[in-house]
Structure 1
Amino acid sequence: MDEAEKLPQYKLFIKPFDLKELRRDIWINDPIPAQLTVGGKRLEIDLSYRGSHIRDFSKKSYQISFYKPLKFKGAKQIHLNAEFKDPSMIRNKLSFDFFSELGVLAPQTHHIFLTQNGKVEGVYLEIESVDENFLKKRNLPNGSIFYAVDGDANFSLMSDLDKETKKSLELGYERKCGSKLDDYYLQELIYKINTISNSEFEKEISKFVDVEKYLRWIAGIIFTSNYDGFVHNYALYRNRETGLFEVIPWDYDATWGRDVNGKRMEANYVPIDGFNTLTARLLDVDRFRKQYRSLLVSTLNHQFTVEFMIPRVEKLLQLIRPYVKQDPYKKQNMDDFDKELAVITEYIEERRKYLQRKLTKLE
């Protein structure tokens, strides 16, 4: 294996007292001080667990904020995902790379090999934080970013959680960057999605949403089959120059034929026309629906094929396999790991058949 094919080694050092504090209550978000060594460079960091239900897993995922220096490789924060429920450990990366192929803003990712106080923790996926540095790296205009933190981020006036009218139009979102004024723009977006008349919707919605990029995002969900993707698992970015919102995908391990528990998912489980209020209203407009259908057809012909995807899958699996064999949480499941190429291949073949059958629904 040449140098270019090796996973970066991340060495985490935590003082015993701080480690005890970190483990005392896995639901506390308060960070502890630690050191991270990458390529011989020692970094002072703040460390905390990340995620919701994934905190219960034996292999923890981490959020790292750089303290000294304040940035590392242009980032002030990164996420290390354990990918615990994904037998392949590549679905998140495969999905974000796929979104990028479709022209959707998506975090950059790469696999790393982590040790903690000299003990092997195994293979992790480093995920770029979606924040102001995410925008700077791409030379994008400043703007606000809102994280969709629960099912109330459904673009509706009705709560997805208790099925009642929302008490606030910001429910389901957490502002990552921007100002209090940007909260108003988010409220206006949700209000307009739900109140613009049918006759005016085609013209008016384009003043608030980058419709083409939104349709590309929906297509990404449809091809990867992220069931939660429509009302969760995303961030909203409002471009301050254009005033338009676009969507950035997040948390895509439950995809490519596996659900959130790592179980096999039927290829027809996620409907071709998706769901959430904005998607329904857009696809009710003839021009947007035809635009969406055309996008699906193009992707079925080019990116979402066994010929295009499987070499990428094979490359990722081959890269991490020697390290998965050393991962204390995964090495006993190598048979499952080795079966994932076939699982993902079958998913693509079956999902293609389903989508091709359902294209008539969009005519």
Structure 2
Amino acid sequence: MENNGRNIPSYSLFINPRDLRELRSDIWNNEHVPAQLKISNTSYQVEIAYRGALTRELPKKSYHLKFIKPETFAGGREIHLNAEYLDPSLMRNKLSFDFFKSLGTLSPEAKYVLLLLNGTFMGVFLQLESVDDLLIKKRGLPAGAIFYAHNHDANFSLLAPDTDDVKDSLMDGYKRKVGTKSDDGYLCELIYKINTVSREDFGKEIVKYVDIGKYLRWLIGVVCTQNYDGFIQNYALYRNSDNGLFEMIPWDYDGTWGRDCYGKIMEYNYIPIRGANTLTARIMDVPYFRHQYRLMFEETIETLFIPEVLEPQVTALYNVLRPHINLDPYKQKSLRKFDAEPEYILQFIKKRNKFLKDQLLELV
């Protein structure tokens, strides 16, 4: 069931009290416990664990579900249920992934669900499609390795971002989700080339490793939505086995549209149009790529990243969520802030759009 109308599907989780105590005994434990999930009239045997980093310490937890019997649901073998607790709008992640899709960037599907746990209503959650081999298959793309950028060492550099010390491994910051150990060599070669190829040769060498057009579309998405962490984590890398090229997949985009990952205000001019990270800097140093980026950016801020296009989407998401926020035990006390968020997001879009138009000169 899609969330374009007012209906949100209900998921009922049943966990044995003993297993529930085990789950709650250690929020940092990644071990799953058995559970039963009922959707409509169908029951699924699943395993459940907490997910996330800082979100584990919050009152409303996020969950990772693996399907055991049957082994798949909606074409996937696992799903993520995000609490979106620190986002007062609950819509930033979904709005971001929908925006990336409009740019032509490979992105996970996102939909809202109502979650009950042993009969108790836990609130509204955002269900995210897992970034894995089945996502690639559903998109009709060639099989290929997938790497998660699971911490900020995934900055495409030989140096750690905080200390500037040389990393212990070219794989620092990455975790292989799909593929074999031999696929790690492709990622290591990419990182090595990014940092060692001469300035004169970089333009003709990097196209052997990265789908530049897709990278630039992803970059536009990060810059427009202003995801500060998006340059050095909050993404996955997919290597297309047919052409050997890497492309980016966005992930964890709640710290966007004028707020950071803690829900605090982030001014519209915080991130420049050129973005960040070592690979982006090297791509922007190539005049032809920079010109491509400018043309793509001009089109985006005239046709997609504008209030006229995004306001109906924001309003639609608000209307879907509003009837249920009043009942969400973790959100019902912040209704006033929730009601103010659509206008806050739209004002951010207007200011950010003007800022980025003024920054286009930086791409000459």
Q: TM-score range by the shorter chain?
A: over 0.9
Q: Residue type matched to 2:236 in 1?
A: A
Q: Residue type matched to 2:19 in 1?
A: D
Structure 2 CA distance for aligned equivalents of residues 341 and 132 of structure 1: 35
Structure 2 CA distance for aligned equivalents of residues 358 and 142 of structure 1: 38
Q: Residue type matched to 1:18 in 2?
A: D
Give the corresponding residue for 1:326: 327
Q: Residue type matched to 2:271 in 1?
A: V
| 1:331-346 matches, cutoff 5 A | 331-346=332-347
Give the corresponding residue for 2:107: 106
Structure 1 CA distance for aligned equivalents of residues 228 and 322 of structure 2: 28
Structure 2 CA distance for aligned equivalents of residues 304 and 129 of structure 1: 26
Structure 2 CA distance for aligned equivalents of residues 152 and 141 of structure 1: 28
> Equivalent residue of 2:113, what SS?
strand
> Equivalent residue of 2:229, what SS?
helix
Structure 1 CA distance for aligned equivalents of residues 260 and 342 of structure 2: 16
Give the corresponding residue for 2:272: 271
Structure 2 CA distance for aligned equivalents of residues 341 and 131 of structure 1: 32
> Equivalent residue of 1:347, what SS?
helix
Give the corresponding residue for 1:281: 282
Q: Residue type matched to 1:129 in 2?
A: S
**Deviations 1:49-78, CA, capped at 9 Å, x for gaps:** 000010000000000000011111110000
Q: Residue type matched to 1:293 in 2?
A: R
Contact 2:4 2:320 in 1 (8 A): no
| 1:55-134 matches, cutoff 5 A | 55-134=56-135
> Equivalent residue of 1:333, what SS?
helix
Structure 1 CA distance for aligned equivalents of residues 273 and 302 of structure 2: 16
Structure 1 residue 3 displacement after superposition: 11
Structure 1 residue 4 displacement after superposition: 5.1
Structure 1 residue 357 displacement after superposition: 1.1
Q: Residue type matched to 2:246 in 1?
A: F
Give the corresponding residue for 1:351: 352
Q: Residue type matched to 1:222 in 2?
A: V
More displaced 10-residue stretch of structure 1: 14-23 or 153-162? 153-162
Classify 1:317/1:4 alpha carbon distance in 2 versus 1 (closer, same or farther; 3 Å): closer
Contact 2:6 2:319 in 1 (8 A): no
Structure 2 CA distance for aligned equivalents of residues 82 and 215 of structure 1: 30
Structure 2 CA distance for aligned equivalents of residues 258 and 166 of structure 1: 31
TM (norm. structure 2) is 0.98
Structure 1 residue ranges, 4+ long, deviating more than 3 angstroms after superposition? none
Give the corresponding residue for 2:198: 197
Give the corresponding residue for 2:53: 52
Give the corresponding residue for 1:19: 20
Structure 2 CA distance for aligned equivalents of residues 140 and 77 of structure 1: 19
> Equivalent residue of 1:198, what SS?
coil
TM (norm. structure 1) is 0.98
| 1:27-42 matches, cutoff 5 A | 27-42=28-43
Structure 2 CA distance for aligned equivalents of residues 165 and 271 of structure 1: 26
Structure 1 CA distance for aligned equivalents of residues 326 and 12 of structure 2: 18
Structure 1 residue 161 displacement after superposition: 3.8
Give the corresponding residue for 1:303: 304
Structure 1 CA distance for aligned equivalents of residues 176 and 230 of structure 2: 19
Structure 2 CA distance for aligned equivalents of residues 264 and 3 of structure 1: 28
Structure 2 CA distance for aligned equivalents of residues 4 and 288 of structure 1: 41
Give the corresponding residue for 1:315: 316
Structure 2 CA distance for aligned equivalents of residues 132 and 143 of structure 1: 8
**% identical aligned pairs:** 52
Give the corresponding residue for 1:136: 137
> Mind listing any 5+ residue stretches in structure 2 that lack a counterpart?
none
Structure 2 CA distance for aligned equivalents of residues 149 and 253 of structure 1: 16
Structure 2 CA distance for aligned equivalents of residues 73 and 248 of structure 1: 20
Contact 2:4 2:316 in 1 (8 A): no
Give the corresponding residue for 2:210: 209
Structure 2 CA distance for aligned equivalents of residues 115 and 270 of structure 1: 39
Structure 1 residue 160 displacement after superposition: 1.6
Structure 1 residue 79 displacement after superposition: 0.1
Structure 1 CA distance for aligned equivalents of residues 163 and 66 of structure 2: 35
**Deviations 1:312-332, CA, capped at 9 Å, x for gaps:** 000011011111111000011
Q: Residue type matched to 2:46 in 1?
A: I
Classify 1:224/1:119 alpha carbon distance in 2 versus 1 (closer, same or farther; 3 Å): same
**Deviations 1:2-56, CA, capped at 9 Å, x for gaps:** 9953100000101100000000000010000001101111000010000001000
Structure 2 CA distance for aligned equivalents of residues 109 and 266 of structure 1: 26
**Deviations 1:75-128, CA, capped at 9 Å, x for gaps:** 000000000000110100000000000010000000010010000100000000
> Equivalent residue of 1:47, what SS?
strand
Give the corresponding residue for 2:225: 224
> Equivalent residue of 1:121, what SS?
strand
Structure 1 residue 351 displacement after superposition: 0.2
